[in-house]
């Protein structure tokens, strides 16, 4: 069951929409689970990208995003390594 995910796990994202596929192209498919909580009232994972792929000024940093555990609009996911 997908809700067995916990903080500290790695997951692999797959984009299901144009938006999701663009995020994978920009930030990669492997993400670190920083927290498991709720986003917009639904169970979700707070993720950070494996690599520093987001630029703020002159500094590169990890991208972050929330992905719902079930029925996310832009991504499917599976537990990674």
Cβ-based burial of 77 (10 A; exposed 0-12, middle 13-18, buried ≥19): buried
- Average of pLDDT values for 67-80? 96
Q: Each residue of 19-47: pLDDT tens digit?
A: 999 999 999 999 999 999 999 999 999 99
Per-residue pLDDT at 80 = 87
pLDDT at site 1: 40
Domain regions of the chain by residue span? 2-79
- Measured distance CA(7)–CA(10) in Å, rounded: 9
Q: What pTM value is reported for the model? A: 0.89
């Amino acid at each position: 069951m997908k809700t067995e995910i916990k903080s500290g796990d790695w997951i692999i994202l797959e984009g299901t929409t144009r938006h999701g596929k663009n995020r994978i192209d920009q930030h990669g498919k492997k993400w670190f689970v920083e927290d498991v909580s709720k986003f917009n009232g639904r169970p979700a994972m707070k993720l950070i990208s494996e690599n520093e792929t987001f630029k703020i000024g002159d500094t590169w940093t990890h991208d972050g995003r929330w992905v719902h555990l079930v029925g996310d609009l832009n991504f499917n996911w599976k537990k990674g390594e």
